[in-house]
A and B are shown apart, each in its own frame.
Chain A
Amino acid sequence: MIADFGFGVLVVTFLITLYSVGAALYGELGKKPAFVESARRAQLLTFPLITVSALALIYLLVNNDFEIEYVYSVTSRSMPFYLKVTALWGGQPGSLLFWGWLLSAFTSAVTLRKWDRDREFLPWVIIVSSVTLAFFLSMNVFFENPFARMFWNSAGEFTRAMFLPAGGTPVPLQADGRGLNPLLRHPGMIIHPPMLYLGFVSYVIPFAFAIAALVTGRSDDRWIRLTRRWSLWAWLFLSFGLLLGGRWAYDVLGWGGYWGWDPVEIAAFMPWLTGTAFLHSVMIQEKRGMLKQWNMILIILTYSLVIFGTFLTRSGVLSSVHAFAQSAVGPMFFSFIGVTFITSMALLFWRWSELRAETEMKSMLSREALFLLNNLLFISVLIVCFSGVISPLISELATGQKITVGPPFYERANAPLFAILMLLMGIAPLSAWGLTSAENMGRINKPVLGGILAVPVVLFGIFWNQVNTALGGLTITVIVLAVILIILGFIYMFRRAVWQAAVVATLVTALAAFTYTHDIIALTGFFLIALTLAATLREFWRATRARQHTRQENFFTALWRLVGRNRRRYGGYLIHISMMLMAIGILGIEIFQMETQGTLEIGQSLTLGNYNIEYKEVANWDDLPKGVNYTRAVVSVTENGQYLGDLTPRKDYYYDSQQGMTIPGQYSTLKDDLYVLLVDWEPISQTGATLKIYVNPLVNWLWIGGLIFFVGIIIAAWPDKDPALAPVHAAKRVPQTSAAD
């Protein structure tokens, strides 16, 4: 009954979204504003309706209604209440409904804003968002119905349908469901998918405004200003979804890592790349009136990649730990992406000449040029990721042989690009908008620059054989050398602004080389991190001191007000700092991870790095109300002979889904993470256990960086009390040549 009601509401909502598209189109083209208003109200209605439908599904999930196929496949009686609720996104039909629900919340919210100044955008925003919503609802209504019941049809085959098929018989009511995949029974799973989905869905709004701007021919940056906060929130959610996913993998998947370049991870990473590029390049349009076409391309790409990301997870095209089985929705998604992408690009080319830049880029060292470079690098990373994901499809078309690439491909190809991006993060904020000559950075002394660049080349020429063996292969050596040359070149050209930071970075690198590592990639990384951190902190310091001086405030008041008055800029810098902290963690675990394993009797111990773990006991017991069997080992940890405490790595086995799960014991410090896995144990004698241990140096900086990142983006996205005050800040130290602002 509830199921029929939920499905009925879903169908009605689908029809309403179709009406909304039609009414908006008719009202706009036929100059009948009443119809646009009607479309707006129809769109407003979708959120409460889908809410009713989603609540109906949650009701069924919570009440163990195993007549419903979806409920049967993702819940079981023993699951706690909160997991039954989150099972809403534990499978394909439910997560599609959840997607639609979030989207309707956003589209309804956007129709509620004051439209008086931007009335001409309204119908097109409604059309774009309603088309997207209608697409997702149609997936639910026609292919992946979360309310479907289970039947055998006349041929005796299992089918899912709302009503009894002719000649069929209903599947008898099941006593218990199959339960959620244990890997998904983790607090991280409660927020990781919603965060990612929120990120995905929020990008629909800036895209809708971009299309509205294209159709109506408004070539100014109004659409960007209107959606600035939307794109920031979208980026926040997406970034957080990615981070939480990493943390979840680290805690649950038990392979000592956080990111495996799995196609689905990349699918979520790709819109993040274009979204990040977009975040930067819209500033150029706002400040300088340039890159208008480029911004359109970026937002169109982001939208397509958002849908593509959902498609990759859903279609079963690629094998992955995240895979749901493939289903009929694959081709539908593919067609939808194709149609929306081609339509959007066609619109863009139609308006291409109207979106020409208002000013010209004068210098390769101006801020806009560096932002452009940053954009090109993000797109390069995107190209690498995309080519990696589709390599099996492409190679099969080209040669008939499927070729796939693993994590080493992404790491090798992306590392140099990330290195230059890190450098840009430190240097670009020091450059000026609209710079016409290199005066700010000092005149370039060609012989000195040549000398700086020549030294590494000559050194490499002499020692190339040793370098070659150390790095493993000529190509990687050449890549590292190229990155070092580019770094040196940039530092030289910005020497006045970065020389202090470069000195700090050199000292840090030297310290690391003497005490920690001789790995050239790690040292390059540490140098870049230190350089960018020092340069960014110096910006905070310099501006705070200047304010302190002119306003007679104490240091902390000055810092507080400085950040408060320029939230976007200093929020952004804080995000840069957090990225550097994350980079420390990533370098640490990627390059210095250590592992060992062994089978121990009680009282025996295993040593890795400075750590020693002694196996003390293992216990096995059932928790029948929860339907779980636990096996827990206890090991005591000592570091350099000093006792630190006990760890309890676990293996949980879920009876309902017949699946196990390995929970590591972790001992975390800023220096490193000791990560102990219980691999196997002797059930009868209960004396021996096999343990695998990892030491993951510096990895906690990754999570600390994540927290600072959150603070940074909250600062950047915080609503302005008086928007008119916001854009003033840039004018002070900038040689503004146009009135673009």
Chain B
Amino acid sequence: MQRSKFLIGGVLILVAVVFLIFTSTSASAQYFMTIDELADEGPAAVGRSLKLSGAVIGDTIQYDPQSLTLTFEVAHVPGDNADIEAQGGLAKVLHDAVVDPNRNRIQVVFVGPKPDLLRDEAQAIMTGKLGEDGIFYAEELLLKCPTKYEEAVPDQAGN
């Protein structure tokens, strides 16, 4: 009797947790996509909550402090860590992406303070939505500069 009571209680809690996880996931799920995948998908991706990663192209960074509007372009980088490693590490992948004019690129608009880490060949990880105009409207912008961490390799030109 006691045992079954506790079992029922436990099962109820489990059901509640699963319910919470499912409803919350459907409310806030974001799809990881690369820029190539986004290009393939085309208009079908418009309006979905996406998480996108790309290499920042330094020349395209524009910031209007009046409206706090930041625009820049990012170039495709692979989404898979194993691929990145295979191509020589994040710093190299980002560099290759930026210098390659044939890569898929996408324009990004972000409204807010300009992040300190935003610069050429940084990796931008953005969450937001693709607009019908083909521009990615980012709500969140996270930047990684691999040169700052482990792959800090001295410049060979100094030799």
Contact = CB atoms under 8 A, between A and B. Distances in A.
Interface of A: 72-73, 91-92, 150, 152, 156, 158, 171-172, 174, 178, 181, 254, 316-317, 319, 321, 323-327, 360-362, 364, 369, 372-373, 376-377, 380, 383-384, 387, 391-392, 396, 401-410, 412-413, 416-417, 473, 475, 479, 482, 597, 599, 651, 657-662, 677, 679-682, 688, 690, 692
A651 B150 CA distance: 25
Given A409-B25, A409-B28, A412-B20, A172 B65 contact: no
A254 B113 contact: yes
Given A73-B152, A391-B29, A402-B31, 15 more contacts: A152-B156, A364-B6, A376-B13, A380-B13, A383-B21, A401-B32, A403-B29, A404-B32, A405-B29, A413-B21, A413-B23, A475-B23, A658-B119, A660-B117, A692-B68
Given A405-B29, A408-B24, A597-B68, A380 B17 contact: yes
Nearest to B79: A402
Contacts of B68: 597, 679, 690, 692
A391 B30 CA distance: 10
A680 B144 contact: no
A660 B63 contact: no
Given A324-B150, A380-B13, A384-B20, A402 B32 contact: yes
14 contacts: A91-B150, A172-B159, A181-B148, A364-B6, A372-B6, A401-B32, A406-B127, A409-B24, A412-B20, A479-B23, A661-B116, A688-B65, A690-B65, A692-B112
B9 interface: yes
B20 A417 contact: yes
B43 interface: no
Nearest to A323: B144
Interface in B91-148: 112-114, 116-117, 119, 125, 127, 140, 142, 144-146, 148
Contacts of A73: 149-150, 152
Nearest to A416: B20
Nearest to A597: B68
Contacts of B158: 172
Nearest to A369: B6
Contacts of B9: 364, 373
B90 interface: yes
A361 B114 CA distance: 58
A107 B55 CA distance: 45
A715 to B, nearest CB: 32
Contacts of A150: 154
A364 B116 contact: no
B127 to A, nearest CB: 7
Contacts of B114: 679-680
Given A323-B144, A405-B29, A72 B152 contact: yes
Given A316-B81, A403-B30, A408-B24, A361 B148 contact: no
A287 B117 CA distance: 54
Main SS class of interface, B: mixed
Nearest to B68: A597
Contact of B142 (A92, A171, A172, A319): A319
B142 A679 contact: no
A120 to B, nearest CB: 34
Contact of B150 (A325, A372, A682): A325
B47 interface: no
A661 B115 CA distance: 9
A473 B27 contact: yes
A392 B23 CA distance: 17
Contacts of B27: 408-409, 412, 473, 475
Given A326-B81, A402-B79, A659-B117, A72 B154 contact: yes
Contacts of B25: 391, 403, 405, 409
A403 B49 CA distance: 10
Contacts of B159: 171-172
A324 B146 CA distance: 8
B32 A326 contact: no
Given A384-B20, A404-B29, A361 B6 contact: yes
Contact of B116 (A172, A319, A408, A660): A660
Contact of A171 (B5, B20, B154): B154
B42 interface: no
Given A387-B21, A409-B28, A325 B113 contact: no
Contacts of A417: 17, 20
Contacts of A92: 150
B31 to A, nearest CB: 6
A362 B3 CA distance: 9
A319 B150 contact: no
A404 B30 contact: yes
Contacts of B28: 405-409, 412
A379 to B, nearest CB: 9
A364 B159 CA distance: 74
Contacts of A316: 81
A660 B117 CA distance: 7
Contact of B24 (A401, A412, A682): A412
A73 B152 CA distance: 6
Contacts of B113: 254, 597, 662, 677, 679-680, 690, 692
B85 interface: yes
Contacts of B21: 383-384, 387, 413
A158 to B, nearest CB: 5
Contacts of B63: 680
B85 A326 contact: yes
Given A392-B32, A404-B51, A662-B116, A412 B23 contact: yes
A569 B141 CA distance: 45
A655 to B, nearest CB: 14
B83 interface: no
B86 interface: no
B10 A405 contact: no
A667 B152 CA distance: 38
Nearest to B13: A376
B96 to A, nearest CB: 16
A453 to B, nearest CB: 15
B53 interface: yes
Contacts of A384: 17, 20-21, 24
Given A92-B150, A324-B150, A661-B116, A403 B32 contact: yes
Contacts of A383: 17, 21
Contacts of A680: 63, 65, 113-114
